[in-house]
Amino acid sequence: MVEERARAERAVRVLAVAVRVGDAAGVDAGLLATAWEGVREGGIVDGASLALERVPARWACALCGRDVDATGPLRCNACDAPAVLAGGEDLHLVRIELERAHGDDGPASPPHRGERA
């Protein structure tokens, strides 16, 4: 996805990538960082940094919508209904920082923010 976007923007190099990782996304941030080190070698992403932002999982009552503390039973303290996952399950590509060739003032497509990875 990063290389595709860089090519679409006529970039000569990717400088940095930022990703938001939800705790409940099923992605180990440490393994993602290690994998990035391997795939970024060579080509347009060579040497690009990776910034990971952790997003905690958030649970809420399925009936009344109140937040539920994930450290205890996943049930609402107010109405005893079961909790549902209400946040932190996504993996988002937040930002790609690019270097374009000098003199390349051609049209660039609009920035993509918050793309799902």
How much is the pLDDT for 41?
86
Residue 70 lies in a domain: no
- For residue 10, give the CATH number of its domain: 3.30.2320.50
Helix (H) or strand (E) holding 94: strand 91-100
Beta strands in 23-87 (DSSP E): 49-55, 58-61, 67-68, 83-87
Q: Please check whether residue 57 is in contact with residue 84, taking contact to mean a CB–CB distance below 8 angstroms.
A: no
DSSP string, 30-44: HHHHHHHHHHTSSGG
Give the residue numbers spanning the domain of 49: 2-57+87-116
Q: Please check whether residue 9 is in contact with residue 109, taking contact to mean a CB–CB distance below 8 angstroms.
A: yes
How much is the pLDDT for 14?
95
How much is the pLDDT for 104?
58
Count of structural domains, the chain: 1
Question: What tens-digit pLDDT sequence spans the chain (117 residues)?
Answer: 899 999 999 999 999 999 999 999 999 999 999 999 998 888 899 999 999 999 999 999 999 999 999 898 999 999 999 999 999 999 999 999 999 987 655 545 444 555 445
Residue 68 lies in a domain: no
